[in-house]
Structure formats: structure tokens, C-alpha cells
């Protein structure tokens, strides 16, 4: 999450906008821009648009997962989540874990959003960087534990909504070589970007749908018998799935990704969003059974 300081200087209404970026791969860069008042709003909007693409699935993707999951919650799970959170709108809560990246109190959580499985290997707890699977298992135990305080249960639920989404984004289970595709520079219909951003944002944005519309269309696309088959209830298995589908992300011949890439990847994108929502609902229904 970018943070900024605007400082007004003298009668010329000059501003110094200092933006510090720290993403979950611990790479830090600083950009300093000096610009005049008349161009201020245009440049702020451009900067915020640029940095908003650096979070897992992106806001819309996480909200899609949350909406799919909420629609599948049991009545008991809805009541219990409402008792803890105050409501059961999972889409609303889904991006909390990205918002707190600017809070220094959560600096220790930087590596909770991804896992690493090198090519040719399977997931092993603690072998490589990234605590995504470990944290999902931990928060699954905490969300309704009598040993946890109300605040700890709230945090567990919020983290689960987000992290289950992250786990199903194939590039959040990285190969350990390119920071989940962030180092793979590509173009999206001629626009400079990177492979991770394509999967976090670009593929979803290209559909030009709200998160509620997208979730509705996913429910029409996948039948219930297919969804039931997805309920393996093993997050290590789901991590290995992402590693398998990761190969599709890198399957392109030219670095200008357009309709051909979209045609090949959209079925995987839709399936992973739907799987994340179905499995998240199943997780909560079992926690609050």
C-alpha cells in the first residue's frame, strides 16, 4: 500500500509528493515527484492507479471471491460471522489484509500473502519462503476457538477471506525465481506492465464487470456438481493446484499479451476465482457448523 506526504511550500503552491512503496516481496523503491498545483490532481490519480495494481487478485478479484463465498454460507455460519464481525459481507472485508500493508504494526505479515513451490516440486511446509498455507491453517483453527479473544477471531476471519483468495491466484504460489511474475515485463494490449499485474488486475478488468456481476456470471458458468468435486479440504493440495496452473500464466510467445492470451487464460482465471469462493464458503461452514 503506497503512503504519501504532501507538503505545501511558499506562494507558488508547489508540492512535494513522496511515495514509498513496499510490497509483499519486501522490495522497496521510492519515487519523488515535484509538480505544480494546476497539475496536481491529474498526477495523483495517475500515481494511485499505478500502485493500486500491486495487490493479490486486486480489489475486484478479492471481492468476487468474497461474494461467491457469501452466497454459499450456511445460515449458521452467517450468524456466527455476524456475531464476530458485525455483518457477513465477505466482499467488504476481503481487501482488509491489503489495506493494512501500510500499517507498521503489520510489517511482520509481509510474507503471508504467497507461497513458493519451485518447478518440479510439491509444497512442503517451511521449506521455502512464504507463509500463505501455514497462515490459512492457523487462522482456520483460531476463527472460532474458545481460546481466542473476539479481536483475534475477527482478525482470523478477515485474513482467511483474503488469503484463500490469494492461494488461488497461480502467481501467488511462485517459482522462487521472478517474484511471482513481477519481474516478467510484458505489455497488456500495448501497455507496459508485468505478468503478476496481468493476473492480479488486467484479466479481470478487461471483462468490464462489477464484482457482483462477475460473481453472478461465475455461478451461471459452473454447475453445483462440479463445485462439490472441488472440496478436497486440503490447502496444501490447493497450493499445488496453483503451481500446476502457473504454467499457463507463462505460456505466451510474444510479450504483448492480447486476445490470444486472454482466450487461453480466462477459463483458468474464472475457475480459480470460483474455486476460491466455493472453498472459502466451505471452510467457514465447517468452522461454524
pTM score of the predicted model: 0.81
Q: pLDDT at position 18, please?
A: 31
- Segment 12-46, tens digit of pLDDT: 333 333 333 333 333 333 333 333 334 444 444 44
Of 93 and 8, more confident:
93
Q: 60 CB contacts (<8 Å, ≥6 apart)?
A: 201, 204, 205, 210, 211, 214
Lowest mean pLDDT among 8-22, 122-136, 274-288: 8-22
Q: Which of residues 32 and 101 earns the better pLDDT score?
A: 101
The percentage of the chain sitting over the pLDDT mark of 70, rounded to a whole number, equals: 81
Q: Are residues 255 and 140 in the same domain?
A: yes
Pair (16, 100) in one structural domain: no
Same domain, 210 and 116: yes
One domain, residues 45 and 138: no
Q: Is 70 exceeded by the pLDDT of residue 273?
A: yes
Residue 30: helix, strand or coil by DSSP? strand
Give me the domain span that covers residue 195.
Answer: 58-287
pLDDT value of position 14 = 32
Measured on CA atoms in the order 252, 255, 258, 262, is the torsion positive or negative?
Answer: positive
Q: Are 172 and 114 in contact (CB under 8 A)?
A: yes
Identify the pLDDT of residue 174: 97
What pLDDT is recorded for position 23?
Answer: 38
Say which CATH number the domain at 158 has: 1.10.575.10
Q: Are 75 and 15 within one domain?
A: no
Burial class (CB in 10 A: 0-12, 13-18, 19+), 6: exposed
pLDDT per position as a tens digit, 104-123: 999 999 999 999 999 999 99
Q: What is the DSSP letter of 148?
A: S
* Contacts of 240 by beta carbon, 8 Å cutoff, 6+ apart: 117, 122, 123
Domain check: are 45 and 94 in the same one? no
Do 280 and 200 have their domain in common? yes
Condensed to tens digits (0 to 9), the pLDDT of residues 205-238 reads 999 999 999 999 999 999 999 999 999 889 999 9
Average predicted confidence (pLDDT) for the chain: 85
Residue 52 has pLDDT above 80, yes or no: no
Q: Are residues 114 and 33 in the same domain?
A: no
Same domain? For 25 and 86 the reply is: no
How many separate domains does the chain show? 2
Q: Which residue has the cell 454447475?
A: 223
State pLDDT tens for residues 140-192: 999 999 999 999 999 999 999 999 999 999 999 999 999 999 999 999 999 99
Concatenate the DSSP letters of all residues of 141-164 into one string.
Answer: HHTT-TTS-HHHHHHHHHHHHHHH
How many CB atoms lie under 10 A from the CB of residue 166?
29
Amino acid at each position: 500500500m503506497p503512503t504519501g506526504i504532501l507538503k505545501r511550500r511558499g506562494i507558488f503552491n508547489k508540492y512535494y509528493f513522496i511515495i514509498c512503496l513496499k510490497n509483499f516481496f519486501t522490495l522497496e523503491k521510492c519515487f519523488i515527484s515535484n509538480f505544480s498545483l494546476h497539475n496536481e490532481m491529474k498526477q495523483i490519480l495517475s500515481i494511485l492507479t499505478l500502485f493500486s495494481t500491486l495487490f493479490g487478485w486486486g480489489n475486484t478479484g478479492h471481492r468476487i471471491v468474497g461474494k461467491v463465498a457469501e452466497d454459499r454460507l450456511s445460515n449458521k455460519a452467517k450468524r456466527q460471522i455476524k456475531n464476530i464481525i458485525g455483518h457477513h459481507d465477505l466482499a467488504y472485508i476481503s481487501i482488509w489484509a491489503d489495506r493494512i500493508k501500510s500499517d507498521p504494526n503489520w510489517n511482520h505479515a509481509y510474507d503471508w500473502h504467497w507461497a513458493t513451490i519451485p518447478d518440479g516440486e510439491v509444497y512442503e511446509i517451511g521449506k521455502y519462503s512464504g507463509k500463505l498455507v501455514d497462515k490459512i491453517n492457523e487462522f482456520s483453527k483460531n476463527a472460532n476457538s474458545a481460546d481466542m479473544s473476539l479481536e483475534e477471531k475477527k482478525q482470523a476471519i478477515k485474513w482467511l477471506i483474503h488469503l484463500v483468495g490469494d492461494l488461488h491466484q497461480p502467481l501467488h504460489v511462485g517459482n522462487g525465481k521472478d517474484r511471482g511474475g513481477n519481474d516478467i515485463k510484458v505489455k497488456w494490449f500495448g501497455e507496459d506492465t508485468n505478468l503478476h499485474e496481468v493476473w492480479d488486475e488486467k484479466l479481470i478488468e478487461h471483462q468490464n464487470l462489477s464484482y457482483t456481476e462477475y460473481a453472478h456470471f461465475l455461478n451461471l458458468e459452473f454447475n453445483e456438481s462440479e463445485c462439490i468435486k472441488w472440496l478436497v479440504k486440503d490447502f496444501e493440495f490447493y497450493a499445488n493446484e496453483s503451481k500446476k496452473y502457473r504454467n499457463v500464466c507463462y505460456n505466451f510467445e510474444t510479450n504483448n499479451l492480447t486476445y490470444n492470451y486472454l482466450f487461453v487464460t480466462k477459463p483458468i482465471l474464472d475457475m480459480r476465482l470460483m474455486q476460491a469462493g466455493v472453498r472459502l464458503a466451505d471452510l467457514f461452514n465447517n468452522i461454524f457448523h
